[in-house]
Each structure stands twice: as structure tokens, then as C-alpha cells.
Amino acid sequence: MIVPKSFVLGGLKWRVVYVDALPERDGSYTYGECSSITRTITIARNVNGTPVTASEQLQTFVLEFVHACLITTGYHDLNGSEPFVTAMELMVMEYLRSRK
């Protein structure tokens, strides 16, 4: 699966952008982020100086897409649960890898 450049959720257009790196407030780096304000999923090309593979970018997109779905549907409590979001991301990735 190829990461889309944009998609629609709840009737609103979201976009996907790539940046060289996504620094955190603590000085570390992250793979991606989801902004409900700008309706943007941002994916890093590099984390801690190491290139992010296409597979890791897809995995990052799926995780951030789950966040976008939860935000759009108003499930803010679940959106704040990274273990829940990660579990959903793992299930979607398993589906994508196993479909025929």
C-alpha cells in the first residue's frame, strides 16, 4: 500500500506531508504526528539521523490515521491512549500484510 497524499474523513479533507525530521520538546525525534487543527498527518523522513524506510512510513501513516479517525469521531479519550492506538495500528498492518 502506498501512503496517500490526501484523504477524506467525516467529509473533511486531510493531507499527508513529509518532513526531514520531527523533533519533540524533549529533544528526541518522532516518526509522525497528527494535527486535528490543520487536518494534517506529518511523517518524518529521518529519525535520529537514520532514514525511515517505506515500511516504517506506512506503519507511521496507519498509526496517525487511527488518531485522525478517533479525533474525527469524537473518541478523544481513546485518542489519548497510545496503547489502544498502537493496538489498532498493529491490527490494520496485519490486515494489510495478509490480504490477498
Residues 74-85: pLDDT tens digits? 999 999 999 999
* Whole-structure pTM value: 0.93
Q: Would you kindly state where each structural domain of the chain is located, as residue ranges?
A: 6-98
Residue 25: what are its φ and ψ, rounded to 5°?
-65, -30
Dist. CA 47–CA 13, nearest whole Å: 27
* Residues 25-73 pLDDT 10s: 888 899 999 999 999 999 999 999 999 999 999 999 999 999 999 999 9
H or E segment and range at residue 8: strand 6-9
Report d(CA 46, CA 33) in Å as an integer: 14
Check pLDDT > 90 for residue 2: no
pLDDT of residue 25: 86
